[in-house]
Structure 1
């Protein structure tokens, strides 16, 4: 879940994800993993997604270990799996990669990424801008993974494993008001200079955000993986 203050601005993850993906034809079922709610059978859903979290992928918590085990099961069964922010990181770590606190510090606001290896479910654009909120990064990918998008501050901005795993560090489900609220709520932790730059990245002169575009990629990834 998000911090209560920012969540009051635009909703929590169980609200944000349906709002972002329903227009693309996805019907989502939410599992409260932090409360121990996880699927018993992979057939409960056609596709899988691991969302963001306030926690770090390397923290020693029972629910994080349980979700890691679930990720391993999903990948071994070649079920379609997408990861967002924490989910991007936890998927990499669960499958043999590495996640660490980023030396460059926080990434917040709108950040631009270069597409270096476009996947079949993406369009022909060579870059995208996505709302970010993280201070951990994937620093080593699992075997068989390929970087899809990169930025100087975040080398692994998106990656794929074959045609059944697709993960992005950014938040396609975020809206600008939520991004602003998160930055202000964490200003003391993030630092004034980084927050001010993040706020500036959302003004009218900044590059347009690609929230819906990236949500569309993930949705098309699912459709292709299911053969639809």
Structure 2
């Protein structure tokens, strides 16, 4: 099964050599599930020919805002709507979560409550999942047909589902403690309040549910329930 990775941002330059870019991180996360991957760097205006260029699709995180005026945003939204219309599996993470909501009629904005950074708990059904967050933007209005599967007091629309084929997540299940530490050092200081960064640093090495989310993502791609 071919998964097209829609790369909407790049990992920090001084981290890529050690971690690979975001597409590489996701491919490693989903290794052993029988997938092959092809990356389309939409952030650099590299788009697939259409929704049928892959069996399933994954939209990555990004430092950009879904509401910003970049030349690749509107074509990406059109592609998302085509993927949805063809009922091909689609997973969105962080920015991917946001741009899918926006493309389908929801609203994303810079959240007035500030940032979520580091290991964070989310209520998903009857479970509490710990995942790494790194965002200020949020989905603040749901699109038609979106179903809320999980969230917390800070981010109430953290896990969304659309029909049987689209599943999206605000936090970053692809980020481990080392990667979050790198973001704190390279992109955090001077942007995110120091107290949040200090708290995230102190909490880096706690347990997380990244592996559980990898299983959920693979299930979506294979046409099975993500819950």
Q: 5+ unaligned residues in a row in structure 1: which ranges?
A: 117-124
TM-score by length of 2: 0.90
How many pairs align?
215
Among 13, 20, 29, which residue is 2:22 paired with?
A: 13
Q: Which stretch shifts more, 165-174 or 85-94?
A: 165-174
The structure with the largest helix share of the pair is 1
- Determine the structure 1 residue equivalent to 2:194: 192
Confirm or deny that 1:155 pairs with 2:156: yes
1:49-198 matched pairs, under 5 angstroms:
49-116=58-125, 126-185=127-186, 186-198=188-200
TM-score by length of 1: 0.89
SS at match of 1:52: coil
Give the whole-Å Cα distance in 2 for the aligned partners of 1:81 and 1:25.
17
Q: 5+ unaligned residues in a row in structure 2: which ranges?
A: 1-9
- Determine the structure 2 residue equivalent to 1:44: 53
Deviation of the 1:9 alpha carbon:
4.3
Higher relative contact order (CA 8 A, sep 6+): 1
Give the whole-Å Cα distance in 2 for the aligned partners of 1:176 and 1:9.
14
Give the whole-Å Cα distance in 1 for the aligned partners of 2:161 and 2:46.
27
- Determine the structure 1 residue equivalent to 2:5: none
- Alpha-carbon distance change, 146 to 190 in structure 1, aligned in 2, over 3 angstroms: same
Q: CA offsets, 1:190-219, max 9 Å, x none?
A: 01101011112223xx3x101111011010
SS at match of 1:197: helix
- Answer yes or no: is the 8 Å Cα contact 2:50–2:79 preserved in 1: no
- Alpha-carbon distance change, 147 to 213 in structure 1, aligned in 2, over 3 angstroms: same
Give the whole-Å Cα distance in 2 for the aligned partners of 1:19 and 1:82.
16
